[in-house]
Amino acid sequence: MTTLRLGIAGLGTVGCGLLVLLRDNKAIIEQRAGCVLEVTAVAARDRSRDRGIDLSGIAWADDARGLATRDDVDVVVELIGGEDGIALDLVRDAVGAGKHVVTANKALLAVHGTEIARLADVNGVHVGYEAAVAGGIPIVKALREGLAGNRIKRLYGILNGTSNYILTQMGQHGAPFADVLAEAQELGYAEADPTLDIGGGDAAHKLAILTSLAFGRPVDFAGVHVEGIQQVTPEDIAFAAELGFDVKLLGIAEETDHGIAQRVHPCMVPLNANIAHVNGVFNAVEVESDQADVTTYVGRGAGGGPTASAVAADIIDIARGLRLPLFNMPAGELRDQPGAPMDRRFGCYYICLHVVDQPGVIADISAILRDHAISLESLLQRGRDPGERVPVVLTTHDTEEAAMMEALKRIAALDVMIEQPRMIRIENL
C-alpha cells in the first residue's frame, strides 16, 4: 500500500483533533483512502507545550513555511488561521511547489481565494477547504460535487454557532445580550474578543467562499453586507415569536435582478421553516437549486472533532486522486458578475419603536411610511400609559430597502421617539 505523507501546520484544537482522528480511525481511513496516511512533519508556535499527543517520530519544523519545500511532505495541512502572514505564505509556497493543500482557514480563502485558485490551476494541485465553512457539515462537497449539475438560485444559512447560541439563549430565557455573551465566553463558545462572531465577520468570510463556489464568481469578501447581532434584544425575539417568527443571524447569497446579493444580518424567519429549529451552537445551510429543489445540511459548525473530520475528508479525497478546481471551475472562467447593492433588497421588515404615548403618534409614523410607499402588514401596541414610554411594533409588506432606510431616518427624528428604531429584515424562506 502506498503512503501519503502529511505536514501539519498548527497544533491547536483542530490540529490535535486531526492527529487523534488519524490515530484512532487509522484502519478505516486507510481502507477508504486506499493508502497509508502518515504525518511526517508538524509545526506550531510552542514546541515545549504538552498537547497530550505522542509526537515522537514526527519531524518538527521551526518555521511552518518550511513544510512547503520538504521532500517528505506530499500534502500540506494549514491549520494556523489568519488571512495573511505565515498562513498565506505557507499556502502560496506549497501550491507553488506543486503540493496539495488542505486548509480550515476561512479568512484566507475569503480574501485571497481567487489568487490561490489561479495558482492551484497553474500547478495542477488540489486545495481542500471543507473545514473552512461550517465545520463538520459537508457543504463544500455538496456544492462542489453533489450539486455540480445544478444551477444554484439561492443559499442561506446559520454560519456562526456563537451567534446562534446567543440568540437561542436570549429567546429561551429572555436574558440580555451582554449576559448571554458572558455565559458563552465562560463555556468556551465565544472568544475573549468575540467581535468576529457577534459582529458577523466570521459568517461573512464563510458566505464569500460559498458565494464563489455556488455562482462561479471571484471571491468578493468586500462586497458582503455585514451586520451583527449586538442590537437584537430579548424584546425583539419575544415579539418575533408572537408574530410567528424566530430571529437568526443568516448569511444569504442569491441571484437578483441587480446582481449577486451577499448579506449577513439578523433575520426574522418563519417558525415553520427548517432553519428556525436549528438552535444552540449548531450551523445549518439550505441550498435552492433548479433540479434538486431545496437541500438542507445541519451539524456542528466548530470544535476539534467536527472540524478535524472535515480536514480528514479532504485528505482522503486527495489520496483517492480527486482533483477539482477550487471554485468548481477553472479560475480563468470565474465570471465577474456584479454585486447587488443592499439598498435594492426587496422584502418585508419588522420595526420596533419606543415612543411617548400621546395622541397622533401612530398617525405621524403612518404618514412617513405612506410618503415612502411602504404598506403596513401589522401593528402591535401594548397597553396605554399616557405621557410615558410604550413599545410599538410594525411589520411591513414588501418594500425596497432604500425606502425603508429613509423612512426610518424620518421616524427617528420625531420628538416622541425615546430611542433609535430597531429594524430586522423578514426573510421568506
Tallying the residues shown for the chain, one arrives at 429
Query: By the 8 A CB rule, do 233 and 168 touch?
Result: no
- The predicted pLDDT at position 46 comes to 83
- The predicted pLDDT at position 69 comes to 94
Question: With 80 as the cut, is the pLDDT of residue 385 above it?
Answer: no
Structure confidence by residue, pLDDT tens digits, 250-277: 999 999 999 999 999 999 999 999 999 9
- The predicted pLDDT at position 383 comes to 67
Query: By the 8 A CB rule, do 194 and 178 touch?
Result: no
- Tell me which DSSP letter residue 379 carries: E
Cell representation of residue 369: 411610511
Provide the residue ranges of all domains of the chain, joining segments of one domain with +.
3-132, 141-300, 345-426
Please determine, looking at this structure, whether the domain spanning 345-426 carries the CATH number 3.40.50.300: no
Q: Which of 99, 106, 206, 248 is catalytic?
A: 206
- The predicted pLDDT at position 308 comes to 95
CATH topology for 141-300?
Answer: Dihydrodipicolinate Reductase; domain 2 (3.30.360)
The rounded mean pLDDT for the chain is 95
Structure confidence by residue, pLDDT tens digits, 320-333: 999 999 999 999 99
Q: Residue 289: enclosing H or E segment and its boundaries?
A: strand 282-289
How distant is the alpha carbon of residue 332 from its chain centre? 26
Q: Is the dihedral of CA 317, 318, 322, 327 positive or negative?
A: positive
Structure confidence by residue, pLDDT tens digits, 7-55: 999 999 999 999 999 999 999 999 999 999 999 999 998 887 888 888 8
Question: 151 in helix, strand or coil?
Answer: coil
Letter for the amino acid at 193? D
Cβ-in-10-Å burial (0-12, 13-18, 19+) of 400 comes to middle
Structure confidence by residue, pLDDT tens digits, 225-250: 999 999 999 999 999 999 999 999 99
- The predicted pLDDT at position 187 comes to 87
Structure confidence by residue, pLDDT tens digits, 67-93: 999 999 999 999 999 999 999 999 999
* Cα–Cα distance for residue pair 18/33, rounded to 1 Å: 16
> Which among 398, 401, 399, 365 is positioned nearest to 380, based on CA atoms?
365
- The predicted pLDDT at position 411 comes to 97
Letter for the amino acid at 224? V
Q: Is 206 a catalytic residue?
A: yes
Cell representation of residue 353: 419603536
* Cα–Cα distance for residue pair 9/92, rounded to 1 Å: 14
Q: Could you say which of 3.40.710.10, 3.60.21.10, 3.40.50.720, 2.70.150.10 is the CATH number of the domain covering 3-132?
A: 3.40.50.720
Beta bridge partners of 286: 156, 296
**Backbone phi and psi for residue 18, each to the nearest 5 degrees, phi listed first:** -65, -45
Residues near 118 by beta carbon (within 8 Å), at least 6 away in sequence: 331, 332
